[in-house]
Amino acid sequence: WLVLALLSNELAVMVPVMLVFYLVFNKRRAEWRYLLPGWVMAGLLLLIRFVVMPISLGSEYVLAFNPITWWGNLRWYIFRAVGLSEGWRAYLVTPKIFISVVALAVFWLVWILKAIKNPPRLKTMTLGLGWFLIAVVPVLLLSHHQSPIYQLIGLPGFILAMLSLVNLSRSRFWL
High-pLDDT (> 90) share of the chain, %: 0
- Residue 32, Cβ neighbours under 10 Å: how many? 13
**102: confidence class by pLDDT, cuts 50, 70, 90:** confident
CA-CA distance, 150 to 47, in Å (whole number)?
21
Whether residue 29 has pLDDT greater than 70: yes
Per-residue confidence (pLDDT) for residue 171, from 0 to 100? 46
Residue 38 CA from chain centroid, whole number:
19
Per-residue confidence (pLDDT) for residue 175, from 0 to 100? 41
Least confident of 83-87, 122-126, 127-131: 83-87
Please compute, for residue 16, the number of CA atoms within 13 A of its CA located in the half-sphere on the CB side.
19
- For the chain, the first-to-last Cα distance in angstroms comes to 29
CA-CA distance, 142 to 138, in Å (whole number)?
8
Nearest Cα to Cα of residue 121 among 111, 132, 134? 111
CA-CA distance, 158 to 66, in Å (whole number)?
25
Whether residue 170 has pLDDT greater than 70: no
**173: confidence class by pLDDT, cuts 50, 70, 90:** very low
Phi-psi label, residue 147: left if phi above 0, alpha if psi -120 to 50, beta otherwise: beta
Q: Can you give the pTM of this predicted structure?
A: 0.64
pLDDT tens figures, 39-89 = 898 888 888 877 787 766 666 667 778 888 888 888 888 888 877 777 777
What's the whole-number average pLDDT of the chain?
A: 78
Helix (H, G, I), strand (E, B) or coil at 141: coil
For CA atoms 107, 145, 4, 15, the dihedral sign is negative
Per-residue confidence (pLDDT) for residue 174, from 0 to 100? 43
